[in-house]
Amino acid sequence: MDCQEKLEVPVYTDVDRDTFLRDIYPLRRPAVLKRVPLGPCVRAWTVSYLAQKGGDREVKVHVSPEPRMDFLHKNFVYRTLPFDKFVQRAAEANHSDFFISKDESYYLRSLGEDARKEPADVRKQFPELAEDFHIPQFFEPEQFFSSVFRISSPGLQLWTHYDVMDNLLAQVTGRKRVVLYSPKDALHLYLTGDKSEVLDIDTPDLQLYPEFAKACRYECVLEPGDLLFIPALWFHNTLALEFGVGVNVFWKHLPPDSYDKKDPYGNKDPVAATRALQSLERTLGILEELPPDYQDFYARRMVLRIQNRGYTKQHSQNVTLEGVICVILWALLFVVAYWIISLIMRFVAGVVWWCLWWLKIAFAIGVFQSILSDTGAPVETTATRLVFLALVCVLLGVGTTPAKPDAHLKDRITMLERRLTEIEKSKVD
């Protein structure tokens, strides 16, 4: 979609638990993790293998005549199939056996044994297949909430929604495109509960949803064996580019009492958030007792109060430990570079000074030899030449050591006077 700012989800390779908890998790941003060991499932979970291992246990699946599933108009029905028959149908483009149409799409989201009370756990619902899948140990065992088995027909697209728990989406087989939106873009997504009303995120109706263009779009394509870290509250929309199998692993990162204990799906808002939303509904009901212009005025005041007290300040999210460390490292690098450059400059200056000093010495000796070799010149001419040479040597600093290139001019004049006196005495003698 060209009207939205588009960013790629960062990719990390060979991530272990320590790297994840130190470098990725604190950022609270999505990340693609490659080459994380998931077990033999990546190679083993073919259609025939899944059908054989999963057997004929019955599963409840979504069946839709269209690949884009619509929660607003409920363009899907629930049907029950033996698991092996479901897998075979989901992998087909056209079906000889079908419920709605030959090209209907299928989607499985595994449930607990008692769907109204128990979260899904692939180790319980599909123990034979769970042996092939290794859950990444990026969180404490007591934080585990659910592991959800997902199988999608090619082209199946799920609506944009958020979850209240952190999760890892393991794309075991097939390729999947995932589009994500930050929680800070919630105002632009036209929410109904935990879902966005904008179903077509690639070519949206901007006359109906004009604010949607302001949301920043994060996008990635998951290959078989990839993991996607989806922080809680980040909106995500998935599109199966091929028949694919995935496993979502959810865990509780807030204190246990923060979550609704009667929520087997893990998508109900935290208890405190639910109470706040209920209070808001009661408050809005009270506002309705006022005339419309008063309702508008006090509603705007309430919005300002919520913005001032509830919104995260922008500067606080920008100042991170990683940022401070980066600034310190750059400062140290600058100091070291300045010190090295200073040493190099001093060395070069010393070499140049020595070269000039030896050139002056060579010049003085050469001129001196030329004066003495002129045997035909009168004594007065030779003396004058020598005096002039001495004066030039003093001015050029010949005779001073390189260690004192900035000798005082007064010392040079004194030396010149002493040499002139010696020359005059020699003439008298």
Domain extents for the chain? 6-264, 339-428
Its sign, for the CA torsion 401, 403, 406, 411, is negative
Whether 94 has a pLDDT exceeding 70, the answer reads yes
Highest mean pLDDT: which range of 150-164, 265-279, 414-428: 150-164
Higher pLDDT, 193 or 387: 193
Tell me if the pTM is above 0.95. no
Q: What is the pLDDT of residues 52-84, one digit of tens each?
A: 999 999 999 999 999 999 888 899 999 999 999
**Cα separation, 333 vs 323, whole angstroms:** 15
Model pLDDT, residue 374: 74
What one-character DSSP code corresponds to residue 181? E
Burial status of residue 419 (CB atoms within 10 A of its CB: 0-12, 13-18, 19 or more): middle
What one-character DSSP code corresponds to residue 184? G
**Cα separation, 382 vs 388, whole angstroms:** 10
Highest mean pLDDT: which range of 211-225, 302-316, 363-377, 409-423: 211-225
Which residue type is seen at 57?
Answer: R
Q: Where are the beta strands (DSSP E) in 136-222?
A: 144-152, 166-173, 176-181, 191-192, 195-196, 217-222
Order across the sheet with 217-222: list the strands.
Answer: 6-8, 217-222, 176-181, 235-240
3-state secondary structure at position 210: helix
Backbone region of residue 261 per phi and psi (left: phi > 0; alpha: psi in -120 to 50; beta: other values): alpha
Model pLDDT, residue 405: 46
Among the residue ranges 121-130, 153-162, 334-343, the one predicted with the least confidence is 334-343
Higher pLDDT, 288 or 356: 288
Kind and range of the H or E element at 19?
helix 17-19
Could you give the percent of the chain with pLDDT greater than 70?
Answer: 89
The neighbour count for residue 372, using CB atoms within 10 Å, is: 12
Determine how β-strand 244-251 pairs with β-strand 226-230: unpaired
pLDDT category of residue 417 using cuts at 50, 70 and 90: low
Whether 402 has a pLDDT exceeding 70, the answer reads no
**Cα separation, 159 vs 189, whole angstroms:** 12
Look up the CATH architecture of domain 6-264: Sandwich (2.60)
Q: What is the pLDDT of residues 6-56, one digit of tens each?
A: 999 999 999 999 999 999 999 999 999 999 999 999 999 999 999 999 999
Give the distance between the most distant pair of CA atoms in the chain.
Answer: 134
Tokens representing 206? 């901007």
- Find residue 322's DSSP bridge partners: none
CA triplet 271, 275, 278: central angle to 5 degrees?
140
CA triplet 42, 50, 91: central angle to 5 degrees?
90
Whether 291 has a pLDDT exceeding 50, the answer reads yes
Model pLDDT, residue 177: 97
Whether 161 has a pLDDT exceeding 80, the answer reads yes
